[in-house]
Amino acid sequence: MGKRSLGVFVLSCGGVVGLVTGGTFGLVIAAACLVAGVLILATSDRGPSQKPRTRGLLLVLVKELHARPMHNGKFHEISDPNETVQFELFARCWLVSKVLSPVNITAIQLRVNTPNRSVVEPERVPEDLQNWRLGKLTEEEDSTGIRRLKTANEEMPPIDLAHPLLTGVAREGWLHYRVQNISLSELKAASIELLVTDFTGTLHHGGISGPRVIPGRVWPFAQPSITHEDSVPKTLNTLDLPAQAN
């Protein structure tokens, strides 16, 4: 017997006993059954703990997107905009939660909706952004007062998906994706959105709010090799030889 049925049964028994017995004793029995039945019904209505409602309370944006055409691991110069190639996609993402409790992210996916109504979901490339740099132009003034443009390479920190989002605290970072067999013309005309799934299974999505740079200003970055002086064998030269007496 479920809790709800049990509560109704106790209430019914209390009413019947109160009517049959009558008097003070009957009223006491009826009151006790009434209290017990109400408590049973109240606990049965609670059910399992409900997850917080998150739909519409998680804001998702792609602030900028850089697309780098590649072929066999190298930059590919596109001469025909209708040629299908591979693109490395770098998205700078922005998330903010309006939920009163912390929100964990369980999945995140970039989606490309091409003009011919086909949907492409690029492959995510995790833990790779340390091998790439974002090119930036900076303006500096030299000692003579002349302002010059210089290039600078900025790191691209990945967006943190391991820790929950806190209310009103924006989170920003990069994601790296790879898409195959798509042309430059299709990518320029495509509708691109970011899909985010939270721990309740709710799907949130957002589009691009900033520039779409094709080809992008993202270049490979070779990590400098670290060598220790003690581990490098010394070569013998004339300065290492002791002076010989004449």
Please give the helix or strand (H or E) that residue 204 lies within, else none. strand 203-207
* pLDDT by 10-residue block (mean), the chain, 246 residues: 56 58 62 60 54 84 95 89 94 95 95 90 94 84 76 91 96 96 93 94 91 89 65 44 45
pLDDT at 41: 53
To the nearest 10°, the Cα dihedral for 2, 5, 11, 14?
Answer: -80
Sheet holding 147-154, edge to edge: 147-154, 132-141, 218-220
Q: What pLDDT shows up at residue 201?
A: 93
Q: What was the pLDDT predicted at 40?
A: 58
| pTM of the entire predicted model | 0.69
Domain edges within the chain: 3-46, 58-220
Segments in the chain forming alpha helices (H) = 3-21, 23-46, 184-189
CATH level 2 (architecture), domain 58-220:
Sandwich (2.60)
Strand pairing class (58-71; 119-120) = unpaired
